[in-house]
Structure 1
Amino acid sequence: MAPPPLTSTRKQRISSATLFHPTWIALFIIVIFVVVALIRFDSVLPSFLFAPGPESLSPPTNITPTSYHDAAPFVFDSLHGLLKQWPNSYAPNGHSIVVGTVPPHTQLFHGKHGPGLPDKLPFFAFDAEMSLGIFGATASSVIHTLAPTRPLRVIYFDGQSATLTETGTLDSQMAILGGEVPSVPVYNHIYDEDQRALDLCALVDDLGIDGVVRMNAGFEILLCNWPRSGVEHLFASNLTLPGNRERAVDKSLPNDPNRQPPLGFGNAFGEQGSFEWLRSATWHYGNYGQGGPAFGRVKPDLCTMVSFYDPELASLSSLHHGRIIGNQTFQNGWGLRRGHRLVGISSRDVKAVKSRIRENIGGSKCSGIEWAVLAESIVAQHKTRLLDIAKTISSPQPASFIVTRIHELSHAILYAYLEYPFAAIGRSAAEVEALTVSRCSSAYTSKVNPSGLSKSEMLLYHSINVVLNRLCSFEWDLLKWSEKYTTQLLGESDDIDLSRIQKEIEDKQKLMSSLLAWIGWDNWTQCEAQCSVDQLCAIPTWPVVYAPGFPQGGIYAVNNTRTSIQDLAEFWRPKCINRTDFDRGGGRGRDPDHQFPDIPSYNEV
């Protein structure tokens, strides 16, 4: 009978006589000789003996500027959306990790049940409304207010990285913490936040930082050891209302902690707290939807931005543009980013990302360029005019009106870079075109020396150049086409043939749609009108949602395969809502038995 295999629970006994058999002694001497020879004569031995294993190989080095074409709009969109509630709600599957700092004296809030200070592994909200929305509706709740006495070093996972779903919101954390992203994660892999906190804090300790910043309906920070991080406790507020505990044990009331008394137990201000939580999220929309600026209590160091869109990550390089995983075929938000996943990322690419994060924590060579300001400037220059052009070119207006308007708008974008042939002696029309597009494309980066950029900045640099080149080339095409029917100052003219012009307008419309789909700016929508003072311009934000027509509200209803495209478009359409609308539209994830009636759509009001 063959001996049993050696395992952790059953091992063969090896006698000392066997261990010191002459054969084993001879083999041991040979091994020692070989090791010494390798150390002494490594320079003359074949190089493959010392080549690193496949998991430790450096990222591919054959990356050229053209390699960034597919990734560029996604990287740019990620850059422009960092620490903004609105874009990260529309594109919740984050693909960026950035090192940042929380300034001293920033207020932090933590809700809990019962007495005592927050534990050593707590999540803190940056807005009291978020803690109140989570814990303030319970029978017994205490809100703690704290503040750091020194800057806190953190890493920020973009997207809705604090949103517990199976559709990709946790992908970047799964990749970093577990080395892979399962296509069908187990239940605890999604909903066990206690274990995730332990895993994140092991990463925090390994990196030598203070915590992790994430977002769902608002921004939060996980501080793994808040006393050690110099965070001081300011005070605690007991929010337990008289009668709450009595309602909690009243068997005649539904066991629904989100409902107002007398229909359920909990804080009498519970529903108001949910609405105020949504209000606080709109403060960080980032100049979208009539909201406030980007979240300012975390200062990101954009020269450390690591992106899973980076073309150096070969296992993901073909999985994004034009591909949506799962049933999320509705391109809500802008472009295709909502359905992007990290499923299929290789262990080598995960290690490359973790290595880059470690390098950035340790201090990376940075140029000092304000990349966020640069992205804002580019969007400001091009976005509203492009949307105006898109609306004009699709309008039922006469062809003459459309051509004239397009000429005016494209000229408004390009006039700072344009020299007409008669103003540039000896310069042909082709040279004027090349010069204009070149100036427009490089105005923001022409003096940037790539050799002075960090690895992360190189990705931003090339992505911005690719985005600008496509924008400027398309805008020149519109100017050149419309100019020959209007001012004719570029030296070209054409007869007015309305049928031909109408066909050309239709062709330009298709090119416009293609550009907007590629750049991802086609659905940067707002509320149709200025909201009144008692209303919020709101979009669904997990777990605080306003979801007319969706029994359970929230992101789960959006992923329901039975939901039509029209329903999804209505779901994501920004709406002006007040407290009554919020309650009638579902509030905070109502279950069907306690669902309020849906607020009618605009055309039913």
Structure 2
Amino acid sequence: MGVKPLLLSSLLWAASTTTATAASPSTTQNANHIFNSIHSSMRQWGSSLQHNGMSLFLASVPAGTQFYHGTSIPDPINGTEWLAFEPEHAMVFARAHMGPPPDEEDDDKKKKELRKRDEETEEEKSSGWLHTYVAAKDLRLLYADGMSAGKTRNGTLDFEDRVLFRDEVGEKEMMGDRERANMFCRMAKEEWDDRVDGLLRMEAGFEIILCDFARDLKEVRVTRTKPSYPFRGPGGGGNDDKKKKKGGPVTKGDGALWFKAIAARYDGIGGNRVTLNYDNFVSAYTYGLDLFHSVNETFTLPRLTQFTSQQLVPIREALNELVLQHEAKEATFNWQTITDMVVERYAHDIRYFASGQLSTVEDIHAKIEKVLAPFVDYGDRDGEEEAERCSMQFIPGGAFGGDGDAGVAATAVHAVTRRICETMVQGWQETDYNTLIGLFQDLMEYLAWTTWKQCSGCADHEICVVPIWPMGTVEDYNHPQCRDAAKPESEGQNYWGGRPGGPGGHHPPPSESSSSAGWIPSLVSFLRSFLGVALGLHF
């Protein structure tokens, strides 16, 4: 029996008209990017590759969740400060305050503290304190996706600074987050009636800027850390010989624990520690903006630098509405679990069909039929019906409502599954081998799933290395590889340009500062200068 053909024109029409009225047309146009935003949210791996984010979600963290804060002092922390989800992350900051000494105008207290530090032993001077807390209540947070804690000009700060902070973060404050923290907490109190307690972001690990430690946390313990200033990265970072000559402590390989902790969160924060509202969130992908082009540049990853402040007003207004009218826990569907099922079901097949490993059209058709068989009525073949049945496999019942209304997540996920299933049906009908392979290669390019870059077969002592600010090379981004967690660095062009300040494309061009090993020099610079105690920051 013949099959009613699935024409390309009808596919495009279906993809543009089966969306819900609650979502804008650009939701379907950018469905692949919205899908990936949902799939990569709160995951170190996908958020590192899709590091420019472009979405803000309401998040909830349950009471009792453990957090960590590294600092130079054992005293209780009050007010606004940083929290880490992993102790290894916080321990990077648990070291002595090595900032510049006070000048003649400093008060007597600071001078006495300086003299006291000078009297301590070398070992005592180089250690810090790890504070452990639990959340005293369910924390209400705003989550900026991507690598939004990365201080780069590659686009990691675009959505945060331009939308959340409304272009009010000055150039000189780009590296220092204290101004962002203070600004956010003022907004939370004065404009949002304390409906959010902090800002959730990611760099080399997930962090929270929490507005009120005393109100929202219970202290569990404060412990002194092993003396090891400065944190020298994997393998000791090249300073071990000097330490040995001075008789000081050697922490060879001390970076491996941190990097292993980072890699442990590649697939998610775990433990139901964070819940996101996927039914209501704000994304730049839904406002009809061309995020990938400006007058003179084409961006591989999305940017906001090409727009005027006025063009971003609708997104800012939507953010205010989101915070004031919605809650993280109100969501009906966990759309990330839906995207997981889609990726797990189709990632291997799509890559296999696109690879050319199957040598004949008949072989590919046979494999496609196995994928589509559950959705085929062999007594009444209809390509349109087969594609639609396939596309709805993982969509929860009721997601589109009785009147067909749906939110951004439902619309985007359905548009992506429809595109996958349409390609399968069209491929089953295609008789030219090269055209058939091209269909799936185009589909892979459209989907751009970060799972296709994941390493396989890493040994127990290895991690899959991907650029995580300020570490990593361009090669690490293009071809992530398994490397020893104690020695993850590679030779080549630093992905972040060696220092913040590269141009606004995918990655900065080669320069003298970016031609050496990617991880160690940037890591040391990061710890000393960017988050360094000279700026007085704690974690």
Same structural fold, with TM-score higher than 0.5 when normalized by the shorter chain:
yes
Listed as ranges, the gaps of 5+ residues in structure 1 are 1-60, 249-256, 287-291, 330-335, 483-503, 572-582, 592-605
Contact 1:104 1:147 in 2 (8 A): yes
Contact 2:141 2:198 in 1 (8 A): yes
Contact 1:129 1:273 in 2 (8 A): no
Alignment partner of 1:518 out of 439, 446, 450: 446
**Structure (1 or 2) with the larger CA radius of gyration:** 1
Whole-Å Cα distance in 2 between the matches of residues 454 and 221 of structure 1?
A: 37
Tell which deviates more after alignment, 258-267 or 402-411. Answer: 258-267
Q: What is the CA-CA distance between 1:73 and the residue it aligns to?
A: 0.4
Whole-Å Cα distance in 1 between the matches of residues 409 and 258 of structure 2?
A: 34
Aligned length: 446
Q: Any idea what SS the aligned residue of 1:228 has?
A: helix
Contact 1:96 1:158 in 2 (8 A): yes
Contact 1:112 1:142 in 2 (8 A): yes
Alignment partner of 2:507 out of 559, 563, 566: 559
Per the alignment, residue 492 of structure 2 pairs with 550
Whole-Å Cα distance in 2 between the matches of residues 325 and 263 of structure 1?
A: 51
Q: What is the CA-CA distance between 1:158 and the residue it aligns to?
A: 0.5
Whole-Å Cα distance in 1 between the matches of residues 404 and 85 of structure 2?
A: 30
Provide, for residues 139-187 of structure 1, a one-character-per-residue CA deviation record: whole Å limited to 9, x for no partner: 2311111111221111111100111111211112212343249xxx864
Please tell me the residue identity of whatever aligns with 1:273: D
The yes-or-no answer on 1:309 pairing with 2:290 is no
The yes-or-no answer on 1:114 pairing with 2:90 is no
Q: What is the CA-CA distance between 1:445 and the residue it aligns to?
A: 3.6
Contact 1:114 1:140 in 2 (8 A): no
Q: What is the CA-CA distance between 1:559 and the residue it aligns to?
A: 2.8
Please tell me the residue identity of whatever aligns with 2:178: D
Identity %: 20
Contact 1:260 1:266 in 2 (8 A): no
Whole-Å Cα distance in 2 between the matches of residues 364 and 149 of structure 1?
A: 18
Per the alignment, residue 155 of structure 2 pairs with 168
Please tell me the residue identity of whatever aligns with 2:407: M
Whole-Å Cα distance in 2 between the matches of residues 267 and 418 of structure 1?
A: 71
Please tell me the residue identity of whatever aligns with 1:279: K
Whole-Å Cα distance in 2 between the matches of residues 91 and 358 of structure 1?
A: 24
Whole-Å Cα distance in 2 between the matches of residues 362 and 196 of structure 1?
A: 23
Q: What is the CA-CA distance between 1:450 and the residue it aligns to?
A: 3.5
Q: What is the CA-CA distance between 1:461 and the residue it aligns to?
A: 1.4
**What is the CA RMSD across the aligned residues, in angstroms?**
3.8
1:201-600 alignment runs, 5 A limit? 201-205=185-189, 206-207=191-192, 208=194, 209-229=196-216, 231-239=217-225, 241=227, 260-263=239-242, 268=249, 272-286=253-267, 296-310=272-286, 313-314=287-288, 316=289, 318-320=290-292, 323=293, 336=300, 338-341=301-304, 343-344=306-307, 346-361=311-326, 366=331, 368-391=332-355, 393=356, 395=357, 401-420=359-378, 424=379, 427=380, 429=381, 432-445=382-395, 447-448=397-398, 450-451=400-401, 458-481=407-430, 504-521=432-449, 524-527=452-455, 529-545=456-472, 546-550=488-492, 556=498, 559-562=507-510, 586=520, 589=523
Whole-Å Cα distance in 2 between the matches of residues 118 and 358 of structure 1?
A: 27
Listed as ranges, the gaps of 5+ residues in structure 2 are 1-19, 98-125, 473-487, 500-505, 526-539
Whole-Å Cα distance in 2 between the matches of residues 267 and 470 of structure 1?
A: 61
Contact 1:108 1:147 in 2 (8 A): yes
- Pair 115,464 (structure 1): closer, same or farther in 2 beyond 3 Å: closer
Contact 1:133 1:276 in 2 (8 A): no
Q: What is the CA-CA distance between 1:347 and the residue it aligns to?
A: 4.2
Contact 1:387 1:522 in 2 (8 A): no
Whole-Å Cα distance in 1 between the matches of residues 247 and 92 of structure 2?
A: 12
Q: Any idea what SS the aligned residue of 1:191 has?
A: coil
Whole-Å Cα distance in 1 between the matches of residues 329 and 66 of structure 2?
A: 29
Whole-Å Cα distance in 2 between the matches of residues 101 and 363 of structure 1?
A: 6
Q: What is the CA-CA distance between 1:560 and the residue it aligns to?
A: 3.0
Please tell me the residue identity of whatever aligns with 1:586: I
Whole-Å Cα distance in 2 between the matches of residues 410 and 355 of structure 1?
A: 46
- Pair 220,590 (structure 1): closer, same or farther in 2 beyond 3 Å: closer
Q: What is the CA-CA distance between 1:586 and the residue it aligns to?
A: 3.2
Whole-Å Cα distance in 1 between the matches of residues 304 and 427 of structure 2?
A: 35
Whole-Å Cα distance in 1 between the matches of residues 248 and 177 of structure 2?
A: 25
Q: Any idea what SS the aligned residue of 2:187 has?
A: helix
- Pair 481,80 (structure 1): closer, same or farther in 2 beyond 3 Å: same
Whole-Å Cα distance in 1 between the matches of residues 328 and 225 of structure 2?
A: 43
Q: Any idea what SS the aligned residue of 1:309 has?
A: helix
Contact 1:68 1:462 in 2 (8 A): yes
The yes-or-no answer on 1:179 pairing with 2:142 is no
Q: Any idea what SS the aligned residue of 1:93 has?
A: coil
TM-score, normalised to structure 1, is 0.65
Q: What is the CA-CA distance between 1:416 and the residue it aligns to?
A: 0.9
- Pair 269,383 (structure 1): closer, same or farther in 2 beyond 3 Å: farther
Per the alignment, residue 199 of structure 1 pairs with 183
TM-score, normalised to structure 2, is 0.73
Whole-Å Cα distance in 1 between the matches of residues 73 and 25 of structure 2?
A: 58
Contact 1:551 1:590 in 2 (8 A): no
Q: Any idea what SS the aligned residue of 1:511 has?
A: helix
Whole-Å Cα distance in 1 between the matches of residues 352 and 377 of structure 2?
A: 25
Q: Any idea what SS the aligned residue of 1:75 has?
A: helix
Q: Any idea what SS the aligned residue of 1:135 has?
A: coil
Whole-Å Cα distance in 2 between the matches of residues 284 and 164 of structure 1?
A: 21
1:43-58 alignment runs, 5 A limit? none
Higher relative contact order (CA 8 A, sep 6+): 2
Contact 1:304 1:364 in 2 (8 A): no
1:72-83 alignment runs, 5 A limit? 72-83=31-42
Whole-Å Cα distance in 2 between the matches of residues 541 and 383 of structure 1?
A: 24
Contact 2:27 2:412 in 1 (8 A): yes
Alignment partner of 2:94 out of 116, 131, 135: 135
Q: What is the CA-CA distance between 1:520 and the residue it aligns to?
A: 1.5
- Pair 382,584 (structure 1): closer, same or farther in 2 beyond 3 Å: closer
Contact 2:58 2:323 in 1 (8 A): no
- Pair 377,227 (structure 1): closer, same or farther in 2 beyond 3 Å: same
Whole-Å Cα distance in 2 between the matches of residues 67 and 551 of structure 1?
A: 36
Provide, for residues 172-216 of structure 1, a one-character-per-residue CA deviation record: whole Å limited to 9, x for no partner: 2212343249xxx86424112111110111122233221111101
- Pair 75,478 (structure 1): closer, same or farther in 2 beyond 3 Å: same
Contact 1:324 1:339 in 2 (8 A): no
Per the alignment, residue 31 of structure 1 pairs with none
Q: What is the CA-CA distance between 1:449 and the residue it aligns to?
A: 5.4
Q: What is the CA-CA distance between 1:218 and the residue it aligns to?
A: 0.8
